[in-house]
Amino acid sequence: MFALKLLDRLEETLIGLLMAIATVVIFVSVVLRFLSTVPHVQDVAIRLSMTWAQELCIFLFVWMAKFGAAYGVRAGVHVGVDVLINQLAPRPRKVVVMIGLLGGVVFTAVVGTLGAILVWELAQTDQTSEDMEVPMWIVYLCVPLGSYLMCFRFLQVVASFVRTGKVPHRHSAPIERPQPLGDQAGEQTAGPP
């Protein structure tokens, strides 16, 4: 139980940290770009140019997306069209939901394995990113790590579904319909004379 809570915390911290770093890098880059047009500080701003900022932010957003998708499975925030599934009788509904969950397990396991093969092959080369010159295997490492984490999260949901018959939903409360203007008894409030 402690290990799962630690994994949850690491996942959330990593996503938040990546988002914070990307925000700061983009902000500083925009400020420096603006200052490079100001006459008295443009020489300093040009020397501090962050030409690598766009590439770093792209990498950070890709990592955020991979780990954010795993978080989404755990928290039940992925969009799902279940109008037809909810019309099924309980037993067929459980079968269809289980097929969908197991499909998620298989898909993420395949993507993780193919990603691990890609990372292994890239590690055997000297390929680096264009601006930052980071080895590309490090950049692509998010594919197997994020996919295997997402696969693990799908397995957690499968186990929970087998025990409880429910999948996680962030907003499981029914949507309330807006009440017409007036009081609860149905009387309309008096309008202007």
pLDDT along the chain (193 residues), means of 10: 91 96 94 86 82 94 96 86 85 93 97 98 96 95 97 95 86 56 54 52
- With 0-12 CB in 10 A as exposed, 13-18 as middle and 19+ as buried, what is 36? middle
Handedness of CA 139, 145, 151, 153 (dihedral sign): negative
Q: What is the pLDDT of residues 139-149, one digit of tens each?
A: 999 999 999 99
Give me the amino acid identity at 120.
W
User: What's the pLDDT score for residue 177?
Assistant: 54
Q: What is the pLDDT of residues 23-49, one digit of tens each?
A: 999 999 999 888 888 888 888 878 887
Q: Cβ–Cβ contacts within 10 Å for residue 139, how many? A: 20
- Rounded Cα distance between 159 and 25, Å, is 40
**Are the beta carbons of 135 and 128 closer than 8 angstroms?**
yes
Q: What residue spans define the domains of the chain? A: 2-164
**Are the beta carbons of 141 and 121 closer than 8 angstroms?**
no
Q: Give the H/E segment covering residue 120.
A: helix 90-123
